[in-house]
Amino acid sequence: MSYYQGKTVWLTGASSGIGLAMAKQLAEAGAHLILTSRRADALEAVRQGLAHPERHRVLALDLSQPEQAATTAAAELGDQVIDILINNAGVSQRSLILDTDMKVYRQLMEIDYFGVIALTKLVLPRMLERQSGHIVTVSSVAGKVGTKLRSGYNGAKFGVIGFMDSLRAETYGKGVIVTSILPGFINTQVAHNSLTGDGSALGHEDPDNAGGISAESCAAQSLQAIAKGKAEVVIGSGLSKLAPFLQRFFPGLVRNLVAKR
């Protein structure tokens, strides 16, 4: 993937799942990585395991506090040019609306929605000045189709797709490429780390994600789509890949399927 050779890529959610798989593949492709997640020690372990670790750096941020994260990043990065920002960090949910505390909804929005906005606003001015850059957000099929147990996650992911659509319109013809990645069911720890109604982690997998495609396959397909400058791409298999298409053309069918699952 020559598109990434020599480019500085800021990747959030880099310590596990899709982000970790992306980090490995980007490093192999010759990118210079800025690796972000909450834990510096986990990121350092990732960095040391990548091809050419000396090319990469660690920037630990807590995106549940997006304004503070952006302030810290601005101070740490200074005038460093960011060629590609990949907003991949996120947290999911597994709880009924009636059982979910408001603090959980706020946490989901802070990380999955406001975190994207904060980092995008940080890199966007210089990209526009250079008339060059690429902003990517890993949203979800859950940003197109609402399902049970994911009301807050769905809301944040619907919102971030709308934000990316607006960003794409506002940067049209100005040299900035905008890509939304919509994974379906991916076999990662996302269900284990999902928030329950009181904010605690679910702690176990669910059959949907366990039966999904691998993080490595998702990362490879995502990076290919980014390199091609795609506006939006759905990645997955089976019903999770078909769901956005069905939602668009057969919304009644999708409502029935979702209600009965």
Residues with a known catalytic role? 153
Q: Which residues are registered as beta bridge partners of 84?
A: 9, 134
CA–CA distance, 191 with 170 (Å, rounded to integer):
35
198: three-class secondary structure by DSSP: coil
The two three-digit tokens of residue 82, written as one number: 């960011």
The conformation of residue 250, written as its DSSP 8-state character, comes to: -
Which strand ranges, in their side-by-side order, compose the sheet holding 133-138?
Answer: 57-58, 32-36, 8-12, 84-87, 133-138, 176-183, 232-235
Kindly report the backbone phi and psi dihedral angles of residue 260, in degrees, each rounded to the nearest multiple of 5, phi listed first: -95, -10
CA dihedral 196, 120, 15, 107 (to 10 degrees): -20
> Which residue is listed with tokens 């505390």?
101
Q: How is residue 166 written in tokens?
A: 């607006």
Q: What's 175's DSSP letter?
A: T
| Phi, psi angles (nearest 5°) of residue 45 | -65, -40
Judge contact between 186 and 216, C-beta under 8 A. Answer: no
Q: Are the C-beta atoms of residues 33 and 50 closer than 8 Å to each other?
A: yes
Q: Which of 165, 171, 141 is nearest to 231 (CA)?
A: 165
